[in-house]
Amino acid sequence: MTLERQVGLLSAHTGGLTAVGGVIVRLGCAKNLRLLAHEFVHVVQYKRLGREGFLQEYIQQIAAHGYQNVPFEIEAEADAHKACRDAGIAP
Ligand SMILES: [Zn+2]
């Protein structure tokens, strides 16, 4: 098993990934606005900390909290939920 699968970063249910300013989504997920909003929050996080700063912090957060409790992921979920709610999109 690869490291990204061991820590939960990638799974059969992974819908999208963000790499710096690029968002990659699984085929069939391109219209999932909640997923896109989540990934766009990661773009903002990358911009806030820079590529190396974000990745360093993200890896440290996974090591400290486990992927499911990574503060960056919690922030992305909360901001995506709020953005969808504010736009009238069902979460
Ligand atoms: Zn995420």
CA of 46 relative to ligand 1 center, distance in Å: 12
Predicted pLDDT at 74: 97
Span from the CA of 53 to the centroid of ligand 1 (angstroms): 16
pLDDT given at position 91: 66
Q: Cα of 36 to ligand 1 centre, how many Å?
A: 10
CA of 56 to the centre of ligand 1 (A): 15
Predicted local distance difference test score (pLDDT) of residue 70: 95
Helix H, strand E, coil C: the string for 39-89 is: HHHHHHHHHHHCHHHHHHHHHHHHHHHCHHHCHHHHHHHHHHHHHHHHCCC
Ion ligand 1: residue ranges with CB closer than 5 A: 73, 76
* pTM exceeds 0.85 for this model: yes
Mind listing the pLDDT tens digit of every residue in the chain (91 residues)?
A: 777 777 677 788 889 999 988 999 999 999 999 999 999 999 999 999 999 999 999 999 999 999 889 999 999 999 999 999 999 997 6
